[in-house]
Chain A
Amino acid sequence: MNAMIDDETLDRQLREAAPYIDDEGFTARVMDNLPVAQREPRWLRAMILLGLAILGSGIAYLLSGGFVREGVIQLSNFPIWLLLVFAFGCGLVVGAFAVIFAIRKTPEVRDLARLRF
């Protein structure tokens, strides 16, 4: 029995023993077999979302039995500074949700250690 090599040497030999495999048309074959993108165009998605939002608002207005209309009339009687505070508060809430959503969708922000400054 011969002397056994150490871990480091074995790992190095394993890395060196693994040859680089030439592409030889592999990528082209993969690309030929990719499914055709079936996503609808962006403008269509935007239109669908906008249409649904308008439809939902209309239905909510009709079903509210005048509640929304009265609310809007009351709101218009508020002093201007109160309306500004109200609008600012709404903006903050929507902005906070947008930031949370963006953080959840962005790995680099989620894991600050990965940021490159």
Chain B
Amino acid sequence: MELTDADLIARVLVDDDQHAFGELVRRHQSNVRGLLRQLTRTDVSLADDLGQETFIRAYKNIRSFRGEARFSTWLYRIAYNCFRENARKRKELVGVDEKLLQAEHDPQTVDPGLRHDLMHALNLLPLHERTAVVLCCQNGLSHDEAARVLDIPLGTVKTNVLRGREKLKRTLAAWGPN
């Protein structure tokens, strides 16, 4: 029988069982790295470094995990904090270069090969909308869970998801076959 996340966490807490923590890493690495790749706009190397930092922090602070949220939600929150700290350090104020963003929004400037690429369209969204869409629409978090991860009000999450979805739909419609 496969152990649940709670069982594995208990083993880490009680016995300092690093193998149990390794199993938790294996289970959640894809989702955490996927989120970070979206946040870093597919900078795989940076995303994986932040992913590593996320799991190391999770291990160090696992005693503060109270089980009120899912373990994956807790990991997303740590991952998002790692990303924000890194962005601050790199002085990349996460809204990125608005001119570049505008240029990418223009369907004429987009590589035709990418026109149907949903992930590319997702990357064109501003960070706050992209993050909310990735968490709620792609990873299946509730608005409430996403609000906890991002540490912002529930209403803001709902607005960001709504706006992000609308922008995605408009972009995809504009890129679609005429």
Contacts and interface: CB of A to CB of B under 8 A. Distances in A.
Interface of A: 1-5, 7, 10-11, 13-15, 17-23, 26-27, 29-31, 33-35, 37, 39, 107-108
The 4 closest A-B pairs by CB, nearest first: A107-B67, A2-B176, A4-B169, A21-B30
B118 interface: yes
Interface size class of chain B, counting residues whose CB lies under 8 Å from the partner chain: 35 or more
Contacts, number: 89
Contacts of A29: 52
Interface stretch (B53-61, B81-89, B96-104, B148-156): B53-61
A21 B168 CA distance: 23
Interface string B43-66: 000001001100110011000001
A26 B55 CA distance: 11
A35 B118 contact: no
B137 A11 contact: yes
A50 B38 CA distance: 52
Contacts of B52: 26, 29-30, 33
Contacts of B51: 26
Nearest to B49: A29
